[in-house]
Structure 1
Amino acid sequence: MNSFGPARPVRKMLRRLGVLCSLLVVPTAVLAYADLLPESLDLLGLDLRESPDLPHVARQIAIGAPLKIVAFGSSSTEGVGASSPANAYPARLQINLRKKLRGIDVAVINRGIGGEHVDDMLARLDRDVIAAEPQLVIWQTGSNDPLRGVSIDHFREATVAAIRRIREAGIDVVLMEPQWCPKLEATPGSSRFLDAVRSIGDELDVPVIRRADLMHGWVREGKLTPKQLFASDGLHMADRGYALLAEAAAQSILQDAGSTQTAEAVAE
């Protein structure tokens, strides 16, 4: 992930120390050899060569504790275009993570509501995200804002403020950028919101699931045709697109948590 300025190494070091401190609940026999720790603690499923971008997720994986994720967003989080709620990306993500993180109870709560822009989502941030006490929120945003006339400056300010509130509550954040689709591309200014999500991720060290790039890649690589990718409305993804998005999100989460499970998942 790209970063801005020299402050990031300091933040990474502090997060690494935080993860190590959180492992105090691990038997003292492990910590007795702290000076001899290898780069990868395979027995904990955690890679410590760099501090993880998702320290709270990393801790749950390391100690084998339940992992709760809130999928926050609008219609493509809710699952509009899918044949059933079970085929929306949050439900598929839960299945994928449970498979990759064997023995860990993973719950992905769907808090997507179609048509919402940033202010709509912020109005329910406390109730639908923070009150659920997850370790991670995946925030899909920036799609409806250009359609609803939200200014790019307001979108940036509101999004940054919300991310800080979520983090202050002890919750990791992953952003998911707007989707690629002809309707959205034809909306004036829509690309600025996609760029804003990416730049906010860089600025705040927040991982970003680059959904538009993923969708272009699936078509280019022959995984899906455009007709297979989109539902009949031409705006939202269909089942196969949501399935691929869930796979990509699971892989991204494990990688950003520094989990050694990532390599195992790829090899399977």
Structure 2
Amino acid sequence: MLLGACSSLQPQVDAPAAVVSDSTKWEPDIVAFEQQDAVVRRMPGGIVFVGSSSIRLWESLHEDFPGVPIINRGFGGSRVRDSTWYADRIVIPYQPRAVVFYAGDNDLFEGRTPQQVRDDFEAFVDKVRASLPEVRIAFIAIKPSPSRVTLLPQVREANALVREYAKGVGGVDYLDVFLPMLDAQGHPRPELFVEDQLHLNRSGYAIWAGVVRPWLAGL
């Protein structure tokens, strides 16, 4: 009886829950994109910008790249794997000639490792290339945000891993916006960010445009 009583005091361990992708939480955003598609003409051969809030908030895209048929499919707070999850709905249907991708800082903030970020981006490339084998893909380097300065070592490592991966894959390129966003001491430049010190202001986007523009011109 004593043993039974003692065993009844042992902490209960819950059985592991079934793994379900949390990317589905972005479904309303994706449905909204698809509703836009119903009234906006698709643009085969265009350029899809996809990724997290830094893409979604790039309101000057069309003026930064005049004459370029751009489709903005950024959805705020998303991670690399979220764009992969929805690629067959917000990238592939447009039959773009190129994709400009940005995500990764949210991943690292949530605890993903630099290696996982690299692997997740590779999965994105593989999924898009399975349907669009000739599409060019550019990875915009993970930015150095002042509000997440403690993550800079992981950001540097993730960027280096993606850069090395891109070197070995034809038609995939790494666009370095990281270094231009640092000051002479190697610190993030706060003047490139809005008040939250996480998202870019017009000056920050001007740096991004200056890096992306030559890549687009070379397509």
Which structure shows the higher helix fraction? Answer: 1
5 Å-filtered alignment, 1:78-97, equals 78-79=56-57, 88=58, 91-97=59-65
Residue in structure 1 matched with residue 137 of structure 2 by the alignment: 173
Conserved 8 A contact 1:93-1:250:
no
**Aligned amino acid, residue 182 of structure 1:** P
Query: Is 1:211–2:177 an aligned residue pair?
Result: yes
Decide which of 150, 156, 163 is 1:191's aligned counterpart: 156
Change in CA separation of 1:151 and 1:194 when aligned onto 2, cut-off 3 Å: same
Instruction: Measure, in 2, the Cα distance between the counterparts of 1:147 and 1:167.
Output: 28
Q: Deviations over 1:217-255 (max 9, x none)?
A: xx55xxxx9343111001111122113322321122213
Decide which of 53, 71, 95 is 2:49's aligned counterpart: 71
Q: TM-score, normalised by structure 2?
A: 0.68
Q: Deviations over 1:125-157 (max 9, x none)?
A: 111111121111101122111111123333322
Conserved 8 A contact 1:180-1:211:
no
**Aligned amino acid, residue 65 of structure 2:** L
Flag the structure with larger Rg: 2
Instruction: Measure, in 2, the Cα distance between the counterparts of 1:190 and 1:244.
Output: 18
Gaps of 5+ in 2: 1-42
Residue in structure 2 matched with residue 147 of structure 1 by the alignment: 109
Instruction: Measure, in 1, the Cα distance between the counterparts of 2:103 and 2:117.
Output: 10
Conserved 8 A contact 2:84-2:127:
no
Q: TM-score, normalised by structure 1?
A: 0.57
Instruction: Measure, in 2, the Cα distance between the counterparts of 1:202 and 1:158.
Output: 17
| Identity of matched residues, % | 26
Instruction: Measure, in 1, the Cα distance between the counterparts of 2:213 and 2:44.
Output: 16
Residue in structure 2 matched with residue 48 of structure 1 by the alignment: none
How much has 1:70 moved relative to structure 2?
0.6
Conserved 8 A contact 2:84-2:123:
no
Gaps of 5+ in 1: 1-64, 80-87, 99-104, 258-268
Conserved 8 A contact 1:185-1:191:
no
Conserved 8 A contact 1:167-1:173:
no
